[in-house]
Amino acid sequence: MKNKCSKYEGLFVFSDDETLKNHLLECEECRKEQEKMDRVSELIGEVKFHYRSKAKHKPILKAACILMLLLFSTASIGIIGNYEDMVDTIQYGETLSAEDLGFPVDSYGLIVVDE
């Protein structure tokens, strides 16, 4: 029984191209293994375009998310800056009432509605 050649992986990974080519001329098993690797490389080459085209949209999506975050945070800071008294009320644990929000209220704290 003939032993299988196990040099292909070591030569492919650790040696230079010339040494691998010389070994492929001598060894039929390693030549078959190289043919398999070439077919896989061809398949990868065929689908490479599709993966790269999908990857081009990711930076645009990231930039859009960052811009939306900046827009939201800027608007939030602007609103909070205009209502400092409300922020202080919320910060110190008091609950907001209709009177705190500027609505006309009666003696019970209910909003007064004029007819």
- pLDDT (average), residues 77-97: 65
* Contact predicate 100/86, CB 8 Å: yes
pTM, two decimal places: 0.41
Q: Tell me the pLDDT band of 65, cut-offs 50, 70 and 90.
A: very high
Q: Tell me the pLDDT band of 1, cut-offs 50, 70 and 90.
A: very low
Cα 67 from Cα 85, distance rounded (Å): 29
Which one-letter amino acid corresponds to residue 57?
H
pLDDT in tens, 23-62: 888 888 888 888 998 999 898 888 887 777 666 667 788 8
Dihedrals φ, ψ of 111, to 5°? -70, 130
- Report which DSSP code applies to 4: P
